[in-house]
């Protein structure tokens, strides 16, 4: 059960980050230790930062040691799942229903409880997700439309050579 909660939580988190990338937002934390990016790092605590805003103040630099281009002012750490689920500005940019954010946040809580193995994990919402309930229908609709349909669209659009995904049927 803990592993299933982890998988579902991770799926929501990665999808939300993918939505931000799709709309041109930076999904990694902006580093405040650089003078050029300090104010953007502070703004990022309140709202998503578009890549154009970042490129207005910084750019890529070739790292001779690593032999790669590095974007100055970006940390390796992604935005927190908490921020994606709870910040109104991020929710607006991700553009999902309030119900999806509520469900994702419940799975975020369950994922965080994975550190207590052996305990029965539950949140106020998790006990209401069953085979017949409307919450399960919401999750299935989300997966079918936001994940499977979009994946199949991108597969066709980009002529990718993998099999189409099938929708979930209850």
Output the pLDDT for position 3.
76
Looking at residue 60, the DSSP 8-state letter turns out to be E
Q: Which residue has the higher pLDDT, 139 or 1?
A: 139
pLDDT, tens only, 36-79: 999 999 999 999 999 999 999 998 889 899 899 988 899 999 99
- Residue 110: partners with Cβ closer than 8 Å, 6 or more residues away: 2, 5, 9, 121, 123, 126
Q: Which residue has the higher pLDDT, 115 or 85?
A: 85
Domain ranges of the chain: 28-78
pLDDT, tens only, 119-160: 555 666 655 565 566 777 888 888 888 888 888 888 888 888
SS3 of residue 146 by DSSP: helix
Given a cut of 70, whether residue 111 has pLDDT beyond it is yes
Given a cut of 80, whether residue 33 has pLDDT beyond it is yes
Distance CA 64, CA 52 (A): 26
Output the pLDDT for position 120.
55
Quick check: 69 and 61 in contact, CB under 8 A?
Answer: yes
| Mean pLDDT for the chain overall | 87
């Amino acid at each position: 059960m803990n592993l299933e909660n982890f998988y579902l939580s991770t799926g929501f988190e990665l999808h939300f980050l993918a939505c931000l990338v799709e709309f041109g937002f930076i999904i990694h934390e902006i580093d405040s230790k650089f003078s050029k990016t300090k104010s953007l790092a502070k703004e990022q605590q309140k709202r998503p930062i578009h890549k154009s805003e970042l490129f207005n103040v910084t750019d890529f630099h070739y790292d001779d040691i690593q032999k790669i281009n590095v974007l100055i002012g970006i940390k390796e750490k992604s935005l927190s799942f908490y921020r994606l689920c709870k910040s109104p500005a991020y929710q607006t940019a991700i553009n999902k229903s309030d119900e999806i954010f509520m469900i994702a946040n419940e799975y975020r809580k369950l994922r965080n409880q994975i550190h207590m193995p052996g305990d029965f994990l539950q949140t106020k919402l998790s006990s209401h997700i069953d085979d017949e309930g409307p919450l399960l229908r919401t999750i299935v609709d989300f997966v079918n439309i936001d994940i499977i349909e979009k994946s199949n669209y991108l597969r066709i659009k980009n002529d990718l050579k993998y099999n189409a995904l099938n929708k979930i049927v209850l």
